[in-house]
Structures are given as C-alpha cells and as structure tokens.
Amino acid sequence: MKFYKIKSHAKINISLGVLGKLKSKFHKIETIFSFINLHDEIYVKKIINKNHKVIFYGKFSKGISKNNTILKLLKLLEKKLCSQKYLIKVNKKIPSKSGMGGGSMNASSLLKFFIRNQKLNLSSRDIYKISSNIGSDVAIGMQNKASILYGNGNLKNLNNKISLYILLVRPNFGCSTRAIYRKVKFFSKPVFKLNSRRIINHKFLSNLKNNLEEPAFRIYPKLKKLKIFMEKLDEILFVNMTGSGSTIVGYFNSKKAALDAKKKLNKKYKNYWCILSKTI
C-alpha cells in the first residue's frame, strides 16, 4: 500500500484583535489570516493493525505530546473510519509554540484528506464539531485561502489575494498561548464589518495590530526588541507578531528586499530561526 503525501501549510495572523471574553472563558477574537508556503509534510498509509501509528520526525519533532492533534482527530473519527487503521508520518518543519498553528493545521489537513480521498461522509456540522473538539485553529485550517474570522465566528474568504514575501523570525523559545491570553487587560473594537467591500491591500494591513503583542512583550521583552529591530529594516512594509507568538513576521513587496533583510537578521540574531517565505 502506497503512502499519500499531504502538504500541511502554516498559518499566520496578519492581524489579531481580542474583542472580549466568552462565557466559556475563551476569548472572542477577530483576525485576518493567510497561509504561507512553509509546510509540514504528512505521509498517510492504510495498515493492518489494531491501532493507528503516528510518527513525528524532522527539525521540530521533539517534545510533541502523545495527546497530539492527529491522535485526537483519529479518535474522533474512529466510527467513521470503520476500524481502518493508518500509519501517519509527519515531517515537522513548522516550529511548535510559534503562533503558526502547526499542530492544528496538521489535523485540518488530515481531515480534508479523509473527506476527499477516503470519501468520508461528514456534514458541515460534523466538521465544525470535530474541529472545535481538537482546537480553535482547526476550523481555520479547513479554509483554502486568506480569510477573515469575525468576532461572531463567521469566516469569509478574501476576494483579492494577499501576495507578499515574509520573513519569519522565531527566538530560541516558544510562547504559552494560555499565559499570553491570561495577561490580556484591554479589549479592542471590531475592525471588520460583515459584507464590507473594503479593499484589503498592504497599506490597509499595515495599520492593523495584534492585541496579543502587548502581553507577550511584557512576558518576553526579547520579542519587543526583535520587532523594533525589524521595523527599521530597509523596504519593510510592516511587522507584526503572529498568533500568541513567538514568531515575529516582517512583510515585503520584494523578494530581494526580504533576502537582504534576512542577512542582517542572521548577523544580529545568530541563534534565532529565520526563514524567507511567501503568502499563498
């Protein structure tokens, strides 16, 4: 039986507004997000076995919990898979605790694979329920392009494509999402309106913020220093942290400008993970 290969693309929050707190104690957020060409590689194969087998390898495979998103998904799909077991190998190229939803994107990419290739019969309600039980970002991963997540939970794909080169810079530590959200003291007002025909371009995006930066910078001052340094780079359009960190993202129109900036970052922050990527 051959392996199927799946690309599980990283997600970045170009902006993120924290609008309030829900009765569930989770936060109500508004975000515009995009997928990028950085991706994990997932290999899937049917096996004759009593249990599923999930193997993580690659640069960022260390420290992944046994209660990971893929095993959670397989457990939730147990009845739908009709006792069929799978061997799943994941080459981890997306750092954990980086604000790029690597684990959640793995689960959503695999769920899309089962729906498409294994003809898994799931309603929209089933998909939403499964996604919610795994993690808040899994539903976002079911999208195929840049979208807006509104405060009421609605998702809307952008009509125009966001085409920018980006530098992803992550210090040698990750951020705790729970710890960051606990430090949120102020809530923002919604920026996006349903059915708005606003043109989303880099000039508009450059005015947007990530409300999680302020609490993240208080806990991790190195992130603030990194952002300040990146904002001074030549030809950079804007800089924002993605998700709850710890990755800081710099946006460029030109690949050459991004590569020149990467050289400066590599010289200044020799121990930081820094790669060039692109929105897709």
Q: Is the peptide bond before 246 cis (omega within 30 degrees of 0)?
A: yes
Q: In whole angstroms, what is the distance from residue 33 CA to residue 158 CA?
A: 10
Q: Which of 4, 93, 88, 87 is nearest to 40 (CA)?
A: 93
126 catalytic, yes or no?
Answer: no
- CA 202, 204, 210, 214 dihedral sign is positive
Q: Which of 182, 190, 238 is nearest to 214 (CA)?
A: 182
First and final CA of the chain: distance in angstroms?
32
Q: In whole angstroms, what is the distance from residue 73 CA to residue 90 CA?
A: 14
Query: Which residue, chain included where needed, has tokens 């050289």?
Result: 263
> Hey, what are 278's tokens?
């692109």
Three-state secondary-structure class, residue 251: strand
Pairing state between β 53-57 and 85-91: parallel
List 11, 92, 227, 262, catalytic entry: 11
Decide: 167 and 250 in contact? Cβ < 8 Å. yes
List 40, 92, 97, 137, catalytic entry: 137
Decide: 213 and 180 in contact? Cβ < 8 Å. no
137 catalytic, yes or no?
Answer: yes
Residues carrying an active site annotation:
11, 137
